[in-house]
Amino acid sequence: MAFRFFRAFMLLGFVHMGVLQAQTLPAGFVSSLVSDGWFSPVGATWDANGRVYVWEKSGRVWIMENGVRLPSPMLNLVDEVGNWADHGMLGFALDPNFTSNGRIYAMYVVDRHHLIHYGTPNYSSLTNDFGTATIGRIVRYTAIGPSFNTVDPASRTVLLGETITTGAPILYNTHGVGTLLFAPDGTLLATIGEGASAASADLGSASESYFAQALNDGIITAAENVGAFRSQLINSFSGKVLRMDPNTGDGVPSNPFYDPAQPRAPRSRVWELGLRNPFRMTHKEGTGSTDPTTGDVGTLFIGDVGWYTWEEMNVCTQPGQNFGWPLFEGFSPAPGYPDVNIENRDAENPLYNGVSCTQRYFRFKDVLKEDTPVHVNGHPNPYDAGQQVPNYIPKFFHSRPSIDWRHGNQSRCGAFSGDTAITFDLDDPLSPVPGPRFGGNAPVAGPWRAWSGFPAQYQNSAFHADYAQGWIRRFEYNAQGEVQTVHDFASGLGMISWMGQGPDGCLYYLKYGTGAELRRICNTTTVNLPPVAMATQSVQFGPGPLSVSFTGSGSSDPENGALTYLWNFGDGGSTSSLPNPTRIFTAPAGQPAMFTVTLTVTDNFGQQATKQLVVSVNNTPPVVAITSVNNGATSWWGLIPFSN
């Protein structure tokens, strides 16, 4: 129990638990710094002009242009975003036509105080209400100006979660919103966790969850008070992949459960179901139709974070797949869930008469069954085995993971022995999917690309990661989305909150936690990487005249090319080409002055990198002393409790 409760707080690294180990990469590959100084970054994307957009969990989106972060965020939703525990603004996407229409999309958990009181006299931007029931929301804004560097607040359109009763239920400190991305047909896809407790087998009304407040507010209906089984309810946003019209937020008519009379109902927007915490999802390049009426979005890779034992990487190739949670965790039955008799109030038993059949609704385990090679007559009515659950009631076979891995050191693929679903360890000589033995704690689905800039054996592969263990592995899939082989790739990278491909063909990832960085892995035989600028100073502040020694000799080039140095001291044009210069800064007595010092390093191919430092003259900062803390108070990031 203690482990499960703790894990809910550590999933995205808010309590750091990554394994410390030396970084390893294949020969010819190097991981290099792109930018640092981020605060809880959870994703990055590029526009057609090569500008980078990095979003932070707190609700800010920053633009990087020519390697430099612009001084003000493009989007700032800090007052609205509920940035606590595993929650925050985890999803962001640019419209496919962003460079012409300026549209951006954000998905986040709403701070309850903002949700309840915004626009009333009781609202204060200085007040937060964390640790209680709220919703997940998706919004659209339009960027303005010739450069699209900021958004027009008046352009705000809420696509999901217009009110407290129309959002994705958030009933615990984890399993909230996840990924936003566009399918090739222009529809908007979103992953949503099941919003249930991670501290117990949540069958509804879990005492540690916020179910009572959610029922009172209308965040969930009585039928949705089934805890983790919300992921199995067609009429709930929880535990799903959603597919929406980005103009309206309505469901798309080619969705598997679409109801034309209720286009904004959950069932009309559900694309896939049976997920626990699908934090990161990616799309396989080159798959899917451009016509939204066909219902073909292509192949999706979904990293679903497990509970007790198993993490899973799912492959979605068609609408209406059911990935099994909470009846299954990975390939295995999930502890505490498969044998319970929780009713699905969306599935009424036609045999119910109150006498010979006293079960008005089918149970969740009646309509979701283990996978079989042939899907025929697999859902008998529990009151008459000679009859099947009617076809008008959604019923499913478990869409098994492509690969799952254990909290320890075991990785598996699935197979069949006759009609029985079985598993193989990847390193078993009989395994149909050969690969290494490995483990982890939190999967991150990464990109599949052609990778033309990589050596041949690394091309046409997906690169997936484990956030907590800091590794990346290479998965090869066939055209049907079936995994063929798994290979080790990189390890010791730190906590990975996102991965993607940049316009240069390199594999990018965000290193989360202390010293958060945007980094990239490139093959040095095909891509010349820019140098890494490293700059330090002997002192940061003091009375003038202030002598400061600078050190830039720690800078490096991934290809070990020769570097040249240029220091601009920010005091009227004085510069130095020495790697480690000294400069005296002056200012009139009693008048504070600040100087921004910039080091630019250039490699032998003309690639550059910069690093900035600040020198303050006649401006010594105050010293903060904390003399007492209330027992039970929490740190400013809201996680670590203080106790006397």
Q: What pLDDT, on a 0 to 100 scale, did the predictor assign at position 18?
A: 46
At residue 545, what is the residue type? P
Q: What is the pLDDT of residues 566-599, one digit of tens each?
A: 999 999 878 999 999 999 999 999 999 999 999 9
Q: What are φ and ψ of residue 293, in 5° steps?
A: -75, -15
Q: What is the pLDDT of residues 512-555, one digit of tens each?
A: 987 899 999 999 877 777 888 999 999 999 999 999 999 999 99
Q: What pLDDT, on a 0 to 100 scale, did the predictor assign at position 555?
A: 92
Least confident of 18-22, 26-30, 356-360, 555-559: 18-22
Least confident of 78-82, 267-271, 526-530: 526-530
Tokens of residue 274, six digits = 């049976």
Distance CA 232, CA 171 (A): 16
In this prediction, residue 174 has a pLDDT band, given cuts at 50, 70 and 90, of: very high
Tokens of residue 27, six digits = 């020969």
- With the C-alpha atoms ordered 184, 180, 332, 196, is the resulting torsion angle positive or negative? negative
The gap from C-alpha 22 to its chain's centroid, in whole angstroms, comes to: 25
Distances (CA, A) of 199 to 107, 336, 412, 547, 561: 25, 12, 26, 56, 52
Distance CA 545, CA 540 (A): 13
Tokens of residue 179, six digits = 């990924």
**Which residues 6+ apart lie within 8 Å of 310 measured at CB?**
329, 330, 331, 332, 404, 405, 406, 407
Distance CA 309, CA 332 (A): 9
Distances (CA, A) of 219 to 123, 147, 159, 214, 268: 20, 39, 16, 5, 18
Distance CA 471, CA 474 (A): 10
Whether 244 contacts 234, CB under 8 Å? no
In this prediction, residue 369 has a pLDDT band, given cuts at 50, 70 and 90, of: very high
Q: What average pLDDT does the segment 256-285 reach? A: 98
At residue 223, what is the residue type? A
Q: What is the DSSP letter of 536?
A: E
In this prediction, residue 4 has a pLDDT band, given cuts at 50, 70 and 90, of: very low
Distance CA 195, CA 51 (A): 34
Distance CA 254, CA 274 (A): 20
Q: What pLDDT, on a 0 to 100 scale, did the predictor assign at position 14?
A: 40
Q: What angle do CA 559, 564, 570 make, to 5 degrees?
A: 130
Residue with tokens 């066909």: 294
* Residue 630, pLDDT above cutoff 60: no
* Residue 7, pLDDT above cutoff 60: no
Distance CA 519, CA 32 (A): 6
Tokens of residue 362, six digits = 């089918």
Q: What pLDDT, on a 0 to 100 scale, did the predictor assign at position 20?
A: 56
The gap from C-alpha 495 to its chain's centroid, in whole angstroms, comes to: 12
The gap from C-alpha 45 to its chain's centroid, in whole angstroms, comes to: 13
Q: Look at residues 170, 164, 184 and name the one whose alpha carbon lies nearest to residue 287.
A: 184
Which helix (H) or strand (E) segment holds residue 365: the answer is helix 364-367
Tokens of residue 320, six digits = 């209406």
Whether 328 contacts 398, CB under 8 Å? yes
Percentage of the residues of the chain whose pLDDT score is greater than 90: 86
Q: What angle do CA 162, 168, 174 make, to 5 degrees?
A: 135
Q: What is the pLDDT of residues 180-219, one digit of tens each?
A: 999 999 999 999 999 999 999 999 999 999 999 999 999 9
Q: What pLDDT, on a 0 to 100 scale, did the predictor assign at position 626?
A: 66
Whether 600 contacts 608, CB under 8 Å? yes
* Residue 21, pLDDT above cutoff 60: yes
Whether 351 contacts 389, CB under 8 Å? no
Q: What are φ and ψ of residue 395, in 5° steps?
A: -140, 155
Q: What is the pLDDT of residues 320-363, one digit of tens each?
A: 999 999 999 999 999 999 999 999 999 999 999 999 999 999 99
* Residue 620, pLDDT above cutoff 90: no
How many angstroms separate the most distant Cα atoms in the chain? Answer: 95
Whether 529 contacts 511, CB under 8 Å? no
* Residue 629, pLDDT above cutoff 60: no
Q: What pLDDT, on a 0 to 100 scale, did the predictor assign at position 9?
A: 39
The gap from C-alpha 593 to its chain's centroid, in whole angstroms, comes to: 42
In this prediction, residue 622 has a pLDDT band, given cuts at 50, 70 and 90, of: confident
Q: What average pLDDT does the segment 250-255 reach? A: 98
Residue-by-residue DSSP string for 184-228: TTS-EEEEE-----SSS--SS--TTS-HHHHHHHTSS-GGG-SGG
At residue 8, what is the residue type? A
Q: What is the pLDDT of residues 124-163, one digit of tens each?
A: 999 999 999 999 999 999 999 889 999 999 999 999 999 9
Q: What pLDDT, on a 0 to 100 scale, did the predictor assign at position 167?
A: 98
Residue-by-residue DSSP string for 273-315: B--S---EEEEBTT-S-S-GGG-----EEEEE--SSSEEEEEE
Q: What pLDDT, on a 0 to 100 scale, did the predictor assign at position 133?
A: 98
Supply the mean pLDDT for the chain: 92
Q: Look at residues 511, 603, 472, 585 and name the one whose alpha carbon lies nearest to residue 34.
A: 511
Residue-by-residue DSSP string for 412-427: EEEEEETTEEEEEETT
Q: What is the DSSP letter of 457?
A: G
Whether 603 contacts 575, CB under 8 Å? no
Helix (H, G, I), strand (E, B) or coil at 369: strand
* Residue 633, pLDDT above cutoff 60: no
Q: What pLDDT, on a 0 to 100 scale, did the predictor assign at position 99?
A: 96
* Residue 632, pLDDT above cutoff 80: no
Strand 541-542 and strand 608-617: the pairing is: parallel
* Residue 602, pLDDT above cutoff 80: yes
Q: What is the pLDDT of residues 375-433, one digit of tens each?
A: 999 999 999 999 999 999 999 999 999 999 999 999 999 999 999 999 999 999 999 99
Q: Look at residues 88, 97, 81, 125 and name the one whose alpha carbon lies nearest to residue 11.
A: 88
Residue with tokens 């689905």: 445
Distance CA 23, CA 58 (A): 29
Domains and CATH numbers, the chain: 2-523 (2.120.10.30), 536-617 (2.60.40.10)
* Burial (0-12, 13-18, 19+ Cβ within 10 Å), 571: middle
* Residue 109, pLDDT above cutoff 80: yes
Helices (H), 98-166: 98-101, 112-117
Distance CA 326, CA 323 (A): 9
Distance CA 445, CA 11 (A): 15
* Residue 635, pLDDT above cutoff 50: no
- With the C-alpha atoms ordered 148, 126, 169, 1, is the resulting torsion angle positive or negative? positive
